[in-house]
Amino acid sequence: MLPALASALAHELVRRADEDRRLTLDAQRTPTSASRRRISECRKHNAEALKTIVRRHAWPTADLVGAPASTSALMILLHAPDLDFQIRCRDLIAQATADGRCPALHHAYIADHCAVELGQPQFYGTRIDPATFRPYPIRCPETLDERRHDVGLAPLDEQLRMLRQGV
């Protein structure tokens, strides 16, 4: 990919993720049906843009568009309203992680997201039920913190403590 194209894609991904974040913060301050609709529309448009990028250029890995833009792409993907697309990208991210082109942390988040959405236990404990502040079911919980350490996550108890403190 040409550097100018990679730079333009990076800028667009970061811009789109920032817009989602801004709308989400606005909706938290003023929760209305209009603010929820704006978030939904933003996420739908962001997902369509990401689908186009993935179709034309593959997953936007850190080595291709830079770490901030690759993380923005992951945030867009996690908010996408299309589970089939998320699953396809999960597999692309898994391969990119294995090839060293994407952080393992990205794979952990999308793998857990897809597992929870499919009603399966998650592997890294990244998905927390907002109603209970407890993780959704976890596969092989006895080795969870080892897996979390391997992808750069803190132990689950530490993450839960920070969540409860509002950190």
Show pLDDT as tens, one digit a residue, over the chain (167 residues): 788 999 999 999 999 999 999 999 999 999 999 999 999 999 999 999 999 999 999 999 999 999 999 999 999 999 999 999 999 999 999 999 999 999 999 999 999 999 999 999 999 999 999 888 899 999 999 999 999 999 999 999 999 998 888 75
Helix/strand/coil (H, E, C) string of 1-47? CCHHHHHHHHHHHHHHHHHHHHHHHHHHHCCCHHHHHHHHHHHHHHH
Q: How many domains is the chain built from?
A: 1
Task: Name the token pair of 126.
Answer: 């990244």
- The count of residues in the chain is 167
pTM summary value: 0.92
Instruction: Classify residue 146: in a domain, yes or no.
Output: no
Pair 57, 9: CB distance under 8 Å: yes
> By residue range, what is the domain housing residue 44?
3-89
Structural domain contains residue 65: yes
d(CA 111, CA 90): 6
